[in-house]
Structure 1
Amino acid sequence: MNFKKVILIVLGLILLFLTFNMFTVYQRENSVLVFQFEVKSDLLDDYQLFYSTKEDEEWSEENSIHQTYDKPGIWQTIKYVVPKNIYSIRTDLGNHEAIIGVKNVRLIGTSNVDVSLGDAINLKNQLEIIEQQDNNLTIKALDKDPFLTLDIKSLLDTAINSSDITSKVKAALLSLLTTLVCLYIVNSTKDICKYMREIYRGRSIIFNLARNDFKTKYASSYLGIVWGFIQPLLTIVTYWFVFQVGLRSGNVSDVPFILWFIVAIIPWFFFSEALTGATNVYSEYSYLVKKVVFKIELLPVVKIVSALFVHLFFIIFIFAMYIGYGYYPDFYNVQLIYYLLCTIALAFSVSLLTSTFVLFFKDLNQIIIIVLQIGFWFTPIGWPPTMLSNSWVKIFKLNPMFYIVEGYRDTFIRNVPFIDHPYYTIYFWLFCVTAFVIGVNSFKKLKPHFADVI
């Protein structure tokens, strides 16, 4: 066994240990706490849950959640997503006299904890026990304001901090996958450095070609490069009219809808334009691809820089719009540079793959167009992520543009630094680097055949 393999094995074991602990902590920190029970009543009613975060805290409407029992005579599961620091719970069992059955009371966090009704429950106002068997309780509501309380503070540590076997297996599989990806990246370090060195050496060529590409794109039209700005502006106005005028969308995150919207759609314009252009760059510049002396690995970057010229104008447009509405630049706007680099990195890494494979699989170009059309609606550009449940948000976050769009909003609206999202930041950059490495390796293997298929 050579020295390189020994280093990779040791590094792999270290990464496996670190990533397993990272995913375990992530599961614990990002899990939600759910209080649920099954209920059966003879009346349809509204069940309201109040929660307190400290001892002797008064119940308030601010700390309450409503759920509807709408299946009279049938057992129905009632679920409430509650904060992790709750001290006790009060459940209002409707607003009518009724016979109510309650069973299977649980706290669900990283593990499930059954709540013993006999030990934790305290019957309060206008309630009378009719029958109690193990964890099944039948009670009678005597008036219009029946409620009970549960002291569950002692159960929280078990529900939040312990992990069931499923969580551990999931963490182990994710850590193994992450470790293998990291080792693949490390093993390709030499090719990565060589590719990036060529990009750096050809930076002046890239800029000159990008400037020429930007000018010639609209050279045959009367308005010239103005069309590069008119189309995105008209698209923004159209979506603004549909969402705010047609669908009557109000302010979002306490800012006018148009401000909330433009900081999301403008980075999407840049990514979409850069990816589409870079994907077809080898066909467009086929005369350069067939030249042996030209470094064709520079060409995808040319299209990205060309698209960047328009994007820089729209970044100024964003600041102008915000100032016009009375929102002036602040310190948090500096991290716009970071999210701009993120967008460039994502477009560059993905386009390395698409530009290589589209030469051998022509249908990929149409697939990318469809994916971008669907991706627009699967990215929170015209809708807020708060519309989704926590489980759906986790799925939608697999889309790396989710990170960028929300990052632009963190920069201009929420004033949240990107380091407040450490796990998602790691995922985003791991996605970009992995796509980049696969793209570099694919380009290296298929480059000799480019001239044959163009």
Structure 2
Amino acid sequence: MKSKKKEITIEINASPDSISNYLKKIWEYKSLIWVFAKRDLKVKYAQTFIGITWSIIHPLTTLLIFSFLFGYLLNWKTNNLPYTVYLLSGLLGWNFFSYIVQAGIISIHESSHIIKKIYFPKTILPLSKIIIALVELGLNLLLLIPLILFFKLTISWKIIFIPFVLFFNALCGLTLVFWIASFAYRRRDLLHILPFIMYFGIWLTPVFFSPDLLPEKFSPLLDLNPMANVINLWRWMFFDTIPFNINWIISFFIVLFLALTGMFYYNNREYKFSDYV
């Protein structure tokens, strides 16, 4: 008698993963985050004379120019904080956000040679940019600490909330990355528009100005800007001059929802990336 062979049926499904499965894949490939981050650090400061010091010079230059223009010439008031400290505490969050957005969106095009050769969840690429952004954030903090000591300020106990603030800050950046990158891989005009978005975005965020400078009827509009809430959270965390606003919590959950739906849409499109980059 002939033995019956068991038939094995393999189903090939091209449909995108669910969010839960996709998150599992990201966890499985998490080591690549460090691999890409180390590569970017080497490339970023390769063949430079002063190397990583450039990450301090850039915010320092911005700090000096804005402090002279708005703090000295215009004498803007800033919640009972020295203007230089107020400005730098805002730049911390904005620069962190700005780097994630700009580097994260172009990461697909920068790594086109890798995307075409091996498979991995493409979300790994913008996530790796967060590591670089954290390195630069740490260097920027080296500017803030001497200023706090110089003006004899006291850091609030609320500094323990820094993991939450960083998470909220990174979510704001990743939300833009997921949504814009999901379209920019085919329509590269978005990559050219991005610098304008970032340029005008900082003027709509209280990085170098206090919300009190706005007419009262326009002040509530800042609550609609997630990055305005993040910047205020940074200052609330460092100092005791900023009152807590419940709108920050509401804004966090809205951004979290947009980030997850953006990741889902990004996941649905990432299989097409290798055809266009």
Measured against the shorter chain, the TM-score band is: 0.7 to 0.9
Gaps spanning 5+ residues in structure 1: where? 1-189
Counterpart of 2:147?
Answer: 321
The correspondence for 2:239, drawn from 402, 413, 428, is 413
> Superposition pairs for residues 6-155 of structure 1, below 5 Å?
none
Q: Secondary structure at the match of 1:391?
A: coil
Counterpart of 2:267?
Answer: 444
- Letter of the structure 2 residue corresponding to residue 350 of structure 1: L
Distance 2:149 2:63 in 1: 18
Larger radius of gyration: 1
Distance 1:416 1:377 in 2: 20
The correspondence for 2:159, drawn from 333, 350, 354, is 333
Counterpart of 2:27?
Answer: 200
Report how far residue 214 of structure 1 moved.
1.6
8 Å CA contact 1:333–1:411 kept in 2: the answer is yes
Name the % identity: 23
- Letter of the structure 2 residue corresponding to residue 450 of structure 1: F
* C-alpha spacing 1:395/1:254, structure 2 compared with 1 (3 Å): closer
Counterpart of 1:404?
Answer: 230
The correspondence for 1:429, drawn from 253, 258, 273, is 253
Does structure 1 residue 295 correspond to structure 2 residue 121?
A: yes
8 Å CA contact 1:360–1:453 kept in 2: the answer is yes
Does structure 1 residue 366 correspond to structure 2 residue 189?
A: no
- Letter of the structure 1 residue corresponding to residue 75 of structure 2: R
Output one character per residue of 1:115-161: Cα deviation in whole Å (capped at 9) or x when no partner.
xxxxxxxxxxxxxxxxxxxxxxxxxxxxxxxxxxxxxxxxxxxxxxx
8 Å CA contact 2:162–2:237 kept in 1: the answer is yes
Counterpart of 2:39?
Answer: 212
Q: Secondary structure at the match of 2:188?
A: coil
The correspondence for 1:245, drawn from 62, 72, 95, is 72
Counterpart of 1:53?
Answer: none
- What is the aligned-residue RMSD (CA, Å)? 2.0
Counterpart of 1:395?
Answer: 221
Greater strand proportion = 1
Output one character per residue of 1:39-69: Cα deviation in whole Å (capped at 9) or x when no partner.
xxxxxxxxxxxxxxxxxxxxxxxxxxxxxxx
8 Å CA contact 2:155–2:239 kept in 1: the answer is no
Does structure 1 residue 386 correspond to structure 2 residue 212?
A: yes
Report how far residue 416 of structure 1 moved.
5.5
- Letter of the structure 2 residue corresponding to residue 412 of structure 1: F
Does structure 1 residue 271 correspond to structure 2 residue 97?
A: yes
Where do 4+ consecutive residues of structure 1 move more than 6 Å? none
Distance 1:200 1:323 in 2: 41
Report how far residue 247 of structure 1 moved.
2.3
The correspondence for 2:168, drawn from 342, 351, 357, is 342
Q: Which has the higher contact order (CA 8 A, sep 6+)?
A: 2
8 Å CA contact 2:79–2:241 kept in 1: the answer is no
Does structure 1 residue 304 correspond to structure 2 residue 127?
A: no
Q: Secondary structure at the match of 1:333?
A: helix
TM-score, normalization: structure 1? 0.54
- Letter of the structure 2 residue corresponding to residue 426 of structure 1: I
* C-alpha spacing 1:367/1:302, structure 2 compared with 1 (3 Å): same
Distance 2:71 2:245 in 1: 30
Gaps spanning 5+ residues in structure 2: where? 1-16
